[in-house]
Structure 1
Amino acid sequence: MIKEKLGQIRRDLHRIPEIGFQEFKTQQYLLNVLSQFPNERIEIKTWKTGIFVLVNGINPTKTIGYRADIDGLPITEETDYDFQSEHPGYMHACGHDFHMTIALGILSHFVENPVDDHVLFLFQPAEEGPGGAEPMLNSEVAKDWKPDIVTALHISPELPVGTVATKPGLLFANTSELFIDLKGKGGHAAYPHTTNDMVVAACSLVTQLQTVVARNVDPLDSAVITIGKITGGTVQNIIAENARLEGTIRTLSVQSMDKVKERIEALVRGVEIGYSCKATIDYGSMYHQVFNEETLTMEFMEFISANTDFTVQECKEAMTGEDFGYMVEQIPGFMFWLGVDSSYGLHHAKLMPDEEAIHVAVELMSKYITFKATQK
């Protein structure tokens, strides 16, 4: 697929960001592009708002999987693009428009240049939440079309175009959302002794939560608890009957995630007693760590060094969450960072990745998958 065509696809997709499991326009756009390929070479099956595309191999002994996420974020765009989001309040601020375009470019290559093995493309919804990887992989379609290995990439605004970064083993953290609702007794601000103030309870709980990592997680491990939003009360002269804390938990080990949640629940029970209130905890979406299969990842890094002009470097693990972790939990595989050289980072309203990175990724992954398809 020519460079200009891929650029137009990326811009078209950038205009129509949609949140998880609501990617109806996005799915239809992808299906329209796929309909232009020779139907004797590919098979297409939909799952919810996602798509499976199988490029049939000539003499297959395995199936090589490539995943691209397709959803956007609830962020109001502030870029200088003349192709800004047409959906107010939503934006492809995590680069999934890039991810989809790259996948289509790789897919086009294998339609035109078939290899021995099957290549399966998974256009996955709801990566940003509530999570599409695990149910997609457990779907009826995936039972028939389950890859033997699986790969994926994520754009990296901090890295220059032409640079790839990854590492064997742990790449991204275990993550969990955190929602805590407190219900006490409201009343007039002049009579606090007749109430149970949930603003005070919420503030106390936030302070207590900051002790969990410092005093319950191994200093040689890593964990984060962030409360990013607090809501409570109605007006300035009424003591709040309800309060809500919204945040996130991130850990580098499953064991630490379990420990952190155990301590959060203990502190919340203490707040219930201390402030005579009722509390509920909801962990929302939870993502499994991305753990790169070590042999495959090292082979990939060595392949880049030996067979391309691109730069590959070993990175550190990150506290980033990615539901691709559920795929590599079941299937050997790996994820890597793709440099896109943007002044603004992921989930920023001014994220503007360099489109040249699309062609870097298409060239790289077309070569690598071809190489893997020669291995028996």
Structure 2
Amino acid sequence: MNPDRFIQIRRELHKIPELGFEEFKTQQVLLSYIESLPTERIEIKAWRTGLFVKVAGTNSTQTIGYRADIDGLPITEETGLSFASTHTGRMHACGHDFHMSIALGVLTAVVEEPIIDDMVFIFQPAEEGPGGALPMLQSEQMKKWKPDIIFALHIAPEYPVGTIATRPGLLFANTSELFIDLKGKGGHAAYPHHTNDMVITASHLVTQLQTIVSRNVDPLDSAVVTVGKITAGTVQNIIAETARIEGTIRTLSADTMVLVKERIKALVAGIETGFQCKVEIDFGSNYYQVYNEEQLTEEFMTLADESEKINVIECREAMTGEDFGDMVAEIPGFMFWLGVNSEFGLHHAKLNPSEEAIPTAINLITTYLRKKSNR
């Protein structure tokens, strides 16, 4: 199997990043390649803009699932690559082009040289939002082909090629978006006593939000409430009638996420009374924690460590969010970081992962599957 073909597929996919549930071109590229493979062992089922692909084993006793996310981000690319995004304001800045090409490489390997067990490859849309894992998990097709175990990877710019990092137990945090809309009474800047100023109100609320972690969360636990954007007002001499706060919540505990949200609601209720305004809260997309099943993860780390070309690191948990958490909450599984050695990090306009990581990952995963399936 020539690894260069998957580097070329990665470049083709990199040119056409699409947002969640808009991955129509991406789906067609994936379909075109998969349909070019020998078909006697393959079944393909489309699900919205994603795909389920089942590869029959030779004498299956279980079904192994492998998930690759397929969407891009609303970022204008600044890499200067010859195969840079052709979709204005869109970029594969989280490495999903890598995830897809690696999955296609593994799929090709198990089609050309079948393993004992059945495999289901899940090409999942909308990981970056609003979240494709949960509805895909709840789909009728998943119920028909539900894996017994499942795993996935995510590129890690900070690690060199040849390094993988993971850990048994909690890997990624619980995450939630946060949108708060405030409405008061606007008016002339010369008559503030006739208004309810939402710039002042929003400023007070932002300050109060920062007390949640410091005064309501157990100091031995971890949580982050980030306000990343505030919009309010029209011009300098009009008191703002509306304001909008946008941010995120991240916690290492599912219970702490509930606590933080309840505190936000309580603070907002106080703001409504104190500043005589109306406030609406939207928690947007919510991703459940990625919890790696201990035995499967330790087994994978041990098998990976047997390769002279792979450096295995047991990393710390991270506050990143991943909707793969919904899948491993129902199906035993794990996720791992794949080193790609990029100067710029995830979600950066200049992210440029090393393509050497693509054959490295394909070989690692294929070797793991063969050993796992033969046991």
Provide TM-score, normalisation by structure 2: 0.99
Aligned residues, how many?
375
Contact kept, 8 Å, 1:250 with 1:319, in 2: the verdict is: yes
Q: Which runs of 5+ in 2 are unaligned?
A: none
- Distance, in Å, in 2 between the alignment partners of 1:346 and 1:326 is 21
CA-to-partner distance for each residue in 1:143-189, whole Å, 9 max, x for gaps?
11000000000000000000000000000000000000000000011
1:231 aligns with 2:231: yes
- 1:336 corresponds in structure 2 to 336
SS in 2 for 1:200: helix
- 1:249 corresponds in structure 2 to 249
Contact kept, 8 Å, 1:79 with 1:352, in 2: the verdict is: yes
- 2:111 corresponds in structure 1 to 111
Q: CA RMSD in A?
A: 0.7
- 1:265 corresponds in structure 2 to 265
1:306: Cα distance to partner?
A: 2.1
SS in 1 for 2:155: strand
1:197 aligns with 2:190: no
SS in 2 for 1:360: helix
The one-letter code of the counterpart of 1:309 is K
1:88: Cα distance to partner?
A: 0.4
Pairing 1:81-92 to 2, within 5 Å after superposition:
81-92=81-92
- Distance, in Å, in 2 between the alignment partners of 1:138 and 1:57 is 25
1:234: Cα distance to partner?
A: 1.1
1:308: Cα distance to partner?
A: 4.6
1:54 aligns with 2:77: no
1:370: Cα distance to partner?
A: 1.0
Pairing 1:21-170 to 2, within 5 Å after superposition:
21-170=21-170
1:228: Cα distance to partner?
A: 0.3
The one-letter code of the counterpart of 2:29 is Y
Contact kept, 8 Å, 1:289 with 1:321, in 2: the verdict is: yes
- 1:207 corresponds in structure 2 to 207
1:236: Cα distance to partner?
A: 1.1
1:307: Cα distance to partner?
A: 4.0
- Distance, in Å, in 1 between the alignment partners of 2:364 and 2:3 is 15
SS in 2 for 1:247: strand
Provide TM-score, normalisation by structure 1: 0.99
1:74: Cα distance to partner?
A: 0.2
CA-to-partner distance for each residue in 1:252-278, whole Å, 9 max, x for gaps?
001110111111111101110111000
The one-letter code of the counterpart of 1:360 is T
- Distance, in Å, in 2 between the alignment partners of 1:27 and 1:307 is 33
- Distance, in Å, in 1 between the alignment partners of 2:4 and 2:361 is 15
1:294: Cα distance to partner?
A: 0.3
1:35: Cα distance to partner?
A: 1.1
CA-to-partner distance for each residue in 1:69-95, whole Å, 9 max, x for gaps?
000000000002011100000000000
- Distance, in Å, in 1 between the alignment partners of 2:116 and 2:299 is 20
- Distance, in Å, in 2 between the alignment partners of 1:152 and 1:342 is 20
- Distance, in Å, in 1 between the alignment partners of 2:197 and 2:189 is 10
- Distance, in Å, in 2 between the alignment partners of 1:14 and 1:129 is 19
Pairing 1:1-12 to 2, within 5 Å after superposition:
1-12=1-12
1:7: Cα distance to partner?
A: 1.1
- Distance, in Å, in 1 between the alignment partners of 2:302 and 2:5 is 31
The one-letter code of the counterpart of 1:72 is G
SS in 2 for 1:111: helix
Structure 1's consecutive aligned runs of 4 or more residues displaced over 6 angstroms after TM superposition are none
Contact kept, 8 Å, 1:163 with 1:311, in 2: the verdict is: yes
- 1:13 corresponds in structure 2 to 13
SS in 1 for 2:158: coil
SS in 2 for 1:342: coil
